[in-house]
Amino acid sequence: MFNHDSIDFSVIDVIRQPAALEEVRTLLEQSQLGMDDDIELFVVAHRGQQLVGCAGLVSNIIKCVAVRADMRGDNLSARLLSEVENLAVRNGHFHLFLYTRPANLQRFRGCGFYPLVQWDNVAVLMENSPVGIQRYCQQLTALAHSGPRIGAVVMNANPFTLGHRYLAEQAAAACDWLHLFVVREDVSFFPFRARLEMVQQGVADLPNVTVHAGSEYLISRATFPGYFLKDAGLVNQTWSAMDLLIFRNHIAPALGITHRFVGTEPFCPVTHQYNLDMRHWLEDGRHSPFAPVTVVETPRKRHPSGRAISASEVRALLKTRQWMRIAEIVPETTLAHLQQHYCTAVA
């Protein structure tokens, strides 16, 4: 515990100290904020027995920063941010992100955070580096290829199926070069490294494809905060806007991407809406000073029965070890990976 001018800072482990969250939840509600379910740690500030401030942390993302109304203006926000940044560094996270309302932008600027993308008056994403996105784009530019038609695919591949392979094949055949990004966050059934390996093996024979280990600048819906956005529909809309604007304003120009390929989505309403949002944010010239990116929607590969292939079906079959049925909908490379790593574990 640290003491600064009668303010005591301490850390709450969300899993181990659930009872301590009640007063945090109350403070957030008083600030018209909710509490995201994925938060791992809270830095809390007490003045005597009273909770006067909190800041949540999940991995390298800062969320749920709140200060009691009568304590605002006393530099408590900056001290909270300093404490939670130190906590993140102790846990090995140096590059930090913060989501907040645009009304708080100047306050967090003063705490060493810089705006990365903003959507209207709804939300802004900030990072604790003035050059973070520029450095990432410089790394991408080193991997750029020339040509009038440069494509991109972003996939979770949880796991990599014949449907993913079909989309990659179609996109690669239509482009001079294809950049395939694998979403990095470890919130899926298969960990990121396993998904990346399956994708790399599954497209190794395609000569004009670069597989990228997805960065923190490809925003995962699973980790996108909703604590200051009360409506679930607004959360999804905001996530789409911010993710796609980062892609259009930074990633696409760095690699010269002209087209983004996506498979049709018959199962998940959120993903289906994201596909629709993609056209709005990537193709419409009113949303960005950068060149539009054409969206190409490819019909999803199907079973001989006509049913669309899905990764969720593979995961369900894996639980009961139905290897023959799995072999019908994944490449040989994915099947070998699953049998090597999951046969005994699933059993």
pLDDT at residue 346 in the model: 46
Tokens of 144: 């750029």
What mean pLDDT do residues 251-274 have?
91
Cis peptide leading into 159, omega within 30 of 0?
Answer: yes
Q: Read off the pLDDT of each residue in 11-37 and give the average, rounded to a whole number.
A: 93
Task: Count Cα atoms within 13 angstroms, Cβ side, for 3.
Answer: 2
Give the span between the Cα atoms of 112 and 44, in whole angstroms.
20
Domain assignments of the chain as residue spans, ordered by start? 2-130, 134-346
Average pLDDT for residues 315-323, to the nearest whole number? 93
pLDDT of residue 104: 87
Q: What is the CA radius of gyration of the chain?
A: 22
Quick one: which of 8, 48, 46 has its CA closest to 24? Answer: 46
Partners of residue 191 on adjacent β-strands? none
SS3 180: strand
3-class DSSP state of 127: strand
Residue 44 main-chain phi, psi, to 5 deg: -120, 150
End-to-end CA distance of the chain: 46
CATH architecture label of 134-346: 3-Layer(aba) Sandwich (3.40)
In contact, 281 and 245? CB cutoff 8 Å:
yes
* Helix (H/G/I), strand (E/B), else coil: 169: helix
pLDDT value at position 299? 92
Global confidence as pTM: 0.89
Question: 134: burial class by Cβ within 10 Å (0-12, 13-18, 19+)?
Answer: exposed
Percent of the chain whose predicted confidence (pLDDT) is above 70: 95
* Residue 183 banded pLDDT, cuts 50, 70, 90: very high
The H-or-E segment that residue 162 falls in is helix 162-173
The contacts found for 317-320 with CB under 8 angstroms, 24 or more apart, are 318/342, 318/346, 319/346
Provide the 10 A C-beta neighbour count for residue 304.
6
What was the pLDDT predicted at 188?
Answer: 72
102-105 long-range Cβ contacts below 8 angstroms, 24+ apart? none
Q: Edge-to-edge, what's the strand order for the sheet holding 294-298?
A: 209-213, 177-182, 150-155, 259-263, 294-298
pLDDT per residue as tens digits for the range 188-242: 789 999 999 999 999 999 999 999 998 989 877 666 767 677 666 788 888 899 9
Residue 148, burial from CB neighbour count under 10 angstroms (0-12, 13-18, 19+):
exposed
Strand intervals (E) in the chain: 2-4, 7-13, 41-47, 50-58, 61-67, 97-100, 114-119, 123-127, 150-155, 177-182, 209-213, 259-263, 294-298
pLDDT of 3 > 50? The answer is: no
Cβ 12 vs Cβ 27: under 8 Å? no
Look at residue 341 and tell me whether its pLDDT is greater than 70.
Answer: yes
Whether CATH 3.40.630.30 fits 2-130: yes
* Phi/psi at 325 (5° precision): -75, -35
Provide the token pair at 141: 């530019």
Q: Which residues of 187-199 are buried (b: 16+ CB within 10 A; e: fewer)?
A: bbebebebbbbbb
CA distances from 152 to 94, 117, 186, 318 (A): 29, 21, 22, 29
